[in-house]
Structure 1
Amino acid sequence: MAPLAAVLGTTHHPFYYKASTATGDDRPPFADEWQRKVEAYRETLTAAQPDILVMVGADHFHQFFLDNYPTFLIGKAPRYDATFYNEQREFGIPTYVLDGHEDLSGYLLQGLMDRGFDFSFSNELKIDHSIICPIITTRPEADLPVVPIYTNIFAPPLPSPKRFWDLGRAIREVIDEYPSDKRIAAIGSGHLSLELGGPRQFGEHGPDPEFDANAIEWLANGDIEAILDNVTLETLAGHGNATHGFMDLILMMGIAGPEKAAYVDNFDLYHTMEAYFTWYPNGAPA
């Protein structure tokens, strides 16, 4: 059975690449510390020595829209293009071509369907920054095959937080049953409190620092009971109009299980709280 080498839950700020590669007067004052934290986090994946990456993210209305947004989707392509023009223009994110892993994609699709998750699939998916930013921060070589999974955190009606947790648990079951000796790592990105285009955008900190502190503690401790007691679609909206991305971090904790994270870090980046979590389900690497 395939070893699950690591599970990473992270934020996906599209400005990181531009900030970390800037020099001279163009380099933001926070870039050095942000880069140091990201490079330390990257080592948690490198140490796991993965062969395949299962990547969880969400499409930012680049190819799915309010009239036809899949609840859950898996890519089944031999390769994936990234990124979109507006991401290149605004944030300087470079283009990529990522290799896919069609066998694991098909195995996950069937296994998740068997467990009651009616997935869509795509043979021509294009990847946006919800997956490319974690590639840049955790595996900048972009040298491993990926299985992209997209979730709906944007277009109502949304799945519940409990559904994201259950999906994470199901993904873990299927990976554990996958007949291979390849080392699999799961990397998923979401965010904590976040406001996009609303009155609380670009403040001195995220729109709800109290929620951010609680969310980091819940994830760090694997406390799914506290999450499900406190997090609903309605409360997430109250923390910021884009805070539903937190559900992808719940999903990642679902893959890891209700366990304490082996690595936890965060960075208060004025308008948002960046956060980084790593679990080693089969024990920390030597």
Structure 2
Amino acid sequence: MAKLSAVLATTHHPFFYKATELTPTAEQIPQAAEWKAKVEAYRETLTAAEPDILVMVGADHFHQFFADNYPTFLIGKQPRYDATFYNEEREFGIPKYVLEGDEDLSGFMFKGLLDRGFDFSISHELKIDHSIICPIITTRPAADLPVVPIYTNIFAPPLPSPKRFWDLGRAIREIIDEYPTDKTIAAVGSGHLSLELGGPRQFGETGPDPVFDRNAIDWLSHGDIDSILQNVTFESMSGAGNATHGFMDLILMMGIAGRIEAAYVDELDLFHTREMYMTWYPEGDPR
């Protein structure tokens, strides 16, 4: 059976690459050097796990799917995936990528999720956006491993509940554990802490809700799904920032890991958001 060697949950800041690599040193933001150092340290948590395949969790930022027909959950099943979209190149400096796929694991995952009551959509012509490419840049910049991309709806109401994201994570874990292979799999997913996009709290000195951020990191790092389900609702996420619903993808990643302590937790407070980097090792810390 497959070995799940690591689960990574991270925020995905689209300006990271531009801020740390494309901008001349004299013009970089004050946090650029620290930001880059933190990302490089985080990258080592995935490298140490020695994965053969990456299950990647993200969300489409209205590049391919729109409010009139946005899939609740979707999995890609194709031999390769193109990235990035033009506006992401133009605004964020994110380069184009071609990621290899793993059609066998995608098919096995798709059937397993259907069998467990998750009515997934499937795509054979999926193009990847920065919710997956940003974690590739930060955790596996060589982009040399096959991927199985999973997209969730965190943008277009009605949204699945936080409990549904946790349950989906547990189902993904079961399927990985049952996958008949001797290969090692890592799961890497990205989402948000408190986040405001286009609203009055977007450009504050911190993220829009530092209290939510502090609690969220604490709950995730301790595998405390009970506290999350008691405290995190659509209303509380909206109150923390109009794009905070991306936190549910981080709940999903904790679901894959289970009720265990994170082996690695780091964060960085930028002027309008808090970045978070977290890794669980279900089979024990290989470092």
Q: CA RMSD in A?
A: 0.6
Quick one: which amino acid aligns to residue 227 of structure 2?
A
Offset, 1:25: 2.4
Q: What is the distance in 2 between the residues matched to 1:165 and 1:248?
A: 9
Where do 4+ consecutive residues of structure 1 move more than 3 Å? none
**1:220-259 aligned within 5 A:** 220-259=221-260
**1:1-286 aligned within 5 A:** 1-21=1-21, 22-286=23-287
Offset, 1:202: 1.3
Q: What is the distance in 1 between the residues matched to 2:169 and 2:229?
A: 14
Quick one: which amino acid aligns to residue 12 of structure 2?
H
Q: What is the distance in 2 between the residues matched to 1:115 and 1:25?
A: 53
Q: What is the distance in 2 between the residues matched to 1:203 and 1:26?
A: 21
Structure 1 residues without counterparts, runs of 5 or longer: none
Q: What is the distance in 1 between the residues matched to 2:27 and 2:147?
A: 33
Quick one: which amino acid aligns to residue 258 of structure 1?
R
Offset, 1:26: 2.6
How many residues are aligned here?
286
Quick one: which amino acid aligns to residue 129 of structure 1?
H
Structure 2 residues without counterparts, runs of 5 or longer: none
Q: What is the distance in 2 between the residues matched to 1:94 and 1:181?
A: 33
Q: What is the distance in 2 between the residues matched to 1:239 and 1:27?
A: 28
> Scaled by the length of structure 2, what TM-score is found?
0.99
Offset, 1:233: 1.1
Q: What is the distance in 1 between the residues matched to 2:88 and 2:29?
A: 19
Quick one: which amino acid aligns to residue 15 of structure 2?
F
Offset, 1:270: 1.2
Offset, 1:194: 0.2
Give the secondary structure class of the aligned counterpart of 1:147: strand
> Scaled by the length of structure 1, what TM-score is found?
0.99
Q: What is the distance in 2 between the residues matched to 1:202 and 1:52?
A: 37
Quick one: which amino acid aligns to residue 14 of structure 1?
P
Identity of aligned residues (%): 78
Give the secondary structure class of the aligned counterpart of 1:196: coil
Q: What is the distance in 2 between the residues matched to 1:31 and 1:170?
A: 38
Give the secondary structure class of the aligned counterpart of 1:216: helix
For 1:9-35, what per-residue CA distance to the aligned partner results, in whole angstroms no more than 9, with x for missing partners?
Answer: 000000000011022323222110000
